[in-house]
Chain A
Amino acid sequence: MEKQSVTITNPTGIHARPASLLVSLCQQFQSDIVMECADSGRQVNPKSIFSVLSGRLKPGTTVTVAADGEDAQQAVQEICTFIEALEE
């Protein structure tokens, strides 16, 4: 199991377009992936657009990305980089 925390900083949070980009990124990995919000403990499946959209991933929210599987390390790294790089 790989884990890493990341804070969402883009001004509108992970909504609509960033959400679908995140989902297509996550679907490329074999590993099971879970994102857990630090404030509420809510768990989000980043391979599901509906789970992401209803996950309230607003600016300022810190999430822990956890992945389990062969490509877990790469998955966690790429997801965190993706979230940090969001500008929109």
Chain B
Amino acid sequence: MQIKGIGVCGGMAIAPIHYVESPCPADINEHTDREPAQLKARLDELTAALQQEFLSRAALLRQREQTQDAEMLEMQAVMLCDVTFQNGVCRYLDQGYSLAASITRSSNDQQQGILETEDPYLMERVADVADMASRLVYACWEIPYPDLSQLDHPVVVAAEDLQPSMLVSAPEEFIQGLVLEHGSRTSHIAILAAGRELPTLVGCEDLSALHASFRAGKPELVCLDADQGTLSFAMTDQELQQARQKLEAWQQERQALFVYRDQICATADGERVYLYGNIMEAAAAERVREYGGDGVGLFRTEFLYMNRSTLPSEEEQFAHYRAAVRKMGGKDVTIRTMDIGADKQTPALDLGREENPFLGFRAIRVCLAKPDILRTQLRAILRASAFGPVKILFPMISRMSELDQALAILEDCKAQLRQEGKSFDESIRIGIMVEIPSVAILASQFIQKVDFFSIGSNDLTQYTLAVDRMNEKIDYLYDGLDPAVLTLIRASVRAADQAGGGKTCGLCGELGSDPKAVPILLGLGLRHLSVNPSALLQTKRLISQLHRSDLERAVAQLNL
């Protein structure tokens, strides 16, 4: 039997399924004959135990520098012990409701109170209240709450949908893969999974057969192949054997790459190439370090803004950026200001529908129209630069006036921080993305005002060739190695080299890990590439096998 889904992050896993059910609600009309006094004593016991659980999970997350997740658990502990909530439960107990019904009723009252404020900043707290109460109800039923905190053996996790917090606080070593009925590639859970290199499928067909097997206490053994986008189960012995062989080959291939981890990235004849990792969340910096990357070449911060109804505060962003900087332990972290708009929207910012979103209101254009958003982010990035080497990268610059405005705002933020006595790196390096042809064409002018370029090959290709990279009908026209695109890349590299003063030009798009493209890019003079962490080792191996003659030949064939 086989189920299809959308692969988020490649890889394979063979393990029994662990189905995470959505929590079952309590019957709010359930009555009981038991003495309220007895139930109140029970409530006190359960409250104390659950409070302890929240706080010990929070302490663990703090150790891992997941400050924001820890704060959410601490907040839930406060909610649990809250006098208004607890008094509410007691009042319902006095009316003869069961403990589970009373907890749920009081929790509903508190959720209602928050909803009535109509304050968008508080809407996310409603889910935290519901989650807290649901855990208390399960404790009173004496049933383990359906989450991942109790895992003690390797599993492939399946669910209709999964709260990101559940994955974040689970014992990572036992989770071999993830399959979800809901979700898309850009949902929060998918981003977290990709950051952890967890083989993952989203948007799966019906998983009810697997759910049933788990419920019956006989979880199916499944084979998850995220590269193929398939989940196999009820396999014949032969199928299972084949799957195991494939998994073993995949693991050996990965193992073989690990010898490159501690090697300095250079060509076969010793030309140094700086190889960085692209990340979407601070935790993924761990992978970059694990694979021996030279730093984080691109921290895509837009994901801090997505899947939520409020904008992230300076403190919240600062905590994220500082966590990434600390994880990299002295290696560069390039933080790109948010690129919201086009295919990446958020309820926190209603940008409206557009006829032509990729040519529309996105990234730096949004930031310059709403400079408070940019200020908040720049202050957070600057403050993180006090903890290690940080570079700032502005996306979607198309004209000099935009760069001038962004730089002026940055200078403002620096002045403000100085006045407040908050420390940051005074010599922080500033760069822009080269993803709009206008910047590549005028590269020698733009480089005068910045310290580095980072070529976004995906968008540069799309904008140079006027090819929508999401449109399957014109897929064949989308080619990052088109001579026009390569000419723009070469112009950007030359402009940086000729400007001197240690100015650099790097590339952070998908082209950087394409085996066909790498010799050409190096041949054009690029010495800084940033790739997905999962491609770091194989790209390093490829580079280590290339000679100068290979690079020269690759470029000579192009007739640029």
Contacts and interface: CB of A to CB of B under 8 A. Distances in A.
B85 interface: yes
A13 B121 contact: yes
A58 interface: yes
B313 A88 contact: yes
Contacts of B125: 15-16, 53
Contacts of B78: 20, 23-24, 49
Interface residues of B, number: 21
Given A20-B78, A23-B78, A53-B114, A45 B71 contact: no
Contact of B314 (A13, A17, A50, A88): A88
B315 interface: yes
A48 B121 contact: no
Contact of A51 (B71, B75, B84, B119): B84
Contacts of A50: 79, 82, 84-85, 110, 113-114
Contacts of A13: 119, 121
A19 to B, nearest CB: 9
A49 B80 CA distance: 10
A19 B75 CA distance: 10
A15 B125 CA distance: 9
Q: Which of B74, B117, B315 has the most CB of A within 10 A?
A: B117
Q: How large is the interface on A (under 10, 10 to 19, 20 to 34, 35 or more residues)?
A: 20 to 34
A61 B159 CA distance: 44
A12 B84 CA distance: 24
B122 interface: yes
Contacts of B74: 20
Contacts of B71: 17
B315 A47 contact: no
B142 interface: no
Interface in B64-113: 71, 74-75, 78-79, 82-85, 110, 113
Given A48-B84, A53-B113, A53-B114, A15 B122 contact: yes
Chain B interface helix/strand/loop/mixed: helix
A71 to B, nearest CB: 18
B262 interface: no
A16 B124 CA distance: 9
Given A24-B78, A48-B83, A56 B110 contact: no
Nearest to A88: B313
Nearest to B113: A54
B315 A53 contact: no
B315 A88 contact: yes
Given A50-B110, A53-B114, A16 B82 contact: no
B116 interface: yes
Contacts of A45: 83-84
A13 B122 CA distance: 11
Interface string B113-135: 11011010110010000000000
Nearest to A51: B84
Contacts of A55: 117
Given A16-B125, A54-B113, A88-B315, A49 B119 contact: no
A16 B117 contact: no
A53 B85 contact: no
Contact of B119 (A23, A58, A88): A58
A15 B119 contact: yes
B314 A47 contact: no
B71 to A, nearest CB: 7
Interface string A26-55: 000000000000000000010111110111
A54 B498 CA distance: 61
B543 to A, nearest CB: 45
Nearest to A55: B117
Contacts of B83: 45, 47-48
A56 B119 contact: yes
A48 B78 CA distance: 9
B122 A16 contact: yes
Nearest to B116: A54
A27 to B, nearest CB: 9
Contacts of A23: 78
Q: Which of A17, A45, A47, A55 has the most CB of B within 10 A?
A: A17
A47 B74 CA distance: 16
Given A16-B122, A88-B314, A53 B75 contact: no
Interface in A43-79: 45, 47-51, 53-56, 58
A13 B118 CA distance: 13
11 contacts: A12-B313, A15-B122, A49-B79, A50-B79, A50-B85, A53-B114, A53-B122, A54-B110, A54-B113, A55-B117, A56-B119
Interface of A: 12-13, 15-17, 20, 23-24, 45, 47-51, 53-56, 58, 88
Complex A-B, nearest 8 residue pairs according to Cβ-Cβ distance, in ascending order: A54-B113, A48-B84, A15-B121, A50-B84, A50-B110, A48-B83, A49-B82, A56-B117
Given A16-B125, A20-B78, A54-B116, 4 more contacts: A15-B122, A45-B84, A50-B110, A54-B114
